[in-house]
Amino acid sequence: MFSKSLLKTVTGVALGAAALLPMTQASAAEYKIDSEGQHAFIQFKISHLGYSYVLGTFEDFTGTFSYDPDSPENASASVKVDVSSLDTGHAERDKHILSDDFLDASQYPTATFESTGFESTGEGEGELKGKLTLHGTTQPITIDVEHIGGGDDPWGGYRQGFEGETTLTLSNFGIDTSKLGPTASTVDMYLVVEGIRQ
């Protein structure tokens, strides 16, 4: 009973509405951290005897984040770290850090971060609040985040990059560094993540 022209109109309107739909969610997106290309880094810095710093990284981790520049307060992130991928460039030291003297990686092989909220503090920066589970203990932490940049990449993808800083008090996670001297009670974390939009 429907005329051809009515069918065309209805189809046209439906397709048009569908085409417009992505634009309402254009800026909110899920990103997957580019672990395969290692365009993400988790670095830590801890005092050595009060005379210098030991720098190290966690090489293997995966994660996702969600970011909408138009409503940054909805930003979220979730990261899973393979603790045994720790690397300070010294085999015996890494073995010691991963042992049950400190990180106990055989019992707690994974560290995770789940965000609980984001508070914007300015243009492209803010505080990402969340729960860090490390050494089997979960504690709230806040990461100071800054948006570095984002956009189309040369290979057909779309990326956003952030850097973050936070300081962890190791005893809060049941990690005893007292035998390393008083300056080693905290560790500074510096993170860089680049995510590919999914």
Partner 1 sequence: MWRNSVHGWGLPSILLHWLSAALVVALFVLGWWMTGLGYYDRWYQLAPWWHKSLGLTLLGLTLVRMVWRLIQPTPEAHGVAWERVMAHAGHCLLYVLLLTVMVSGYLISTAEGQGISVFGVFELPALISDLPSQATLAGEVHWYAAWALIVLAVGHTLAALKHHIFDRRDTLRRMWWPGGPRRQ
70 binds partner 1 (CB under 8 A): no
Cα–Cα distance, 29 to 49 (Å, whole number): 45
Sign of CA dihedral 78, 83, 87, 93: positive
179 binds partner 1 (CB under 8 A): yes
Q: Angle CA(174)–CA(166)–CA(78) in degrees, nearest 5?
A: 80
Using the contact rule CB under 8 A, the part of the chain among 21-29, 89-97, 130-138, 159-167 near partner 1 is 89-97
181 binds partner 1 (CB under 8 A): yes
Q: 92 vs 123, which CB is nearer to partner 1? A: 92
Using the contact rule CB under 8 A, the part of the chain among 8-16, 21-29, 84-92, 186-194 near partner 1 is 84-92
Beta strands in the chain (DSSP E): 29-33, 40-48, 52-58, 61-67, 76-82, 86-87, 110-122, 125-134, 137-152, 158-169, 186-197
17 binds partner 1 (CB under 8 A): no
Q: 98 vs 187, which CB is nearer to partner 1? A: 98
Residues contacting partner 1: total by CB under 8 A: 15
Residue 171 CB, nearest distance to partner 1 (Å)? 17
Give the phi and the psi of residue 157 in degrees, each rounded to 5: -105, 180
90 binds partner 1 (CB under 8 A): yes
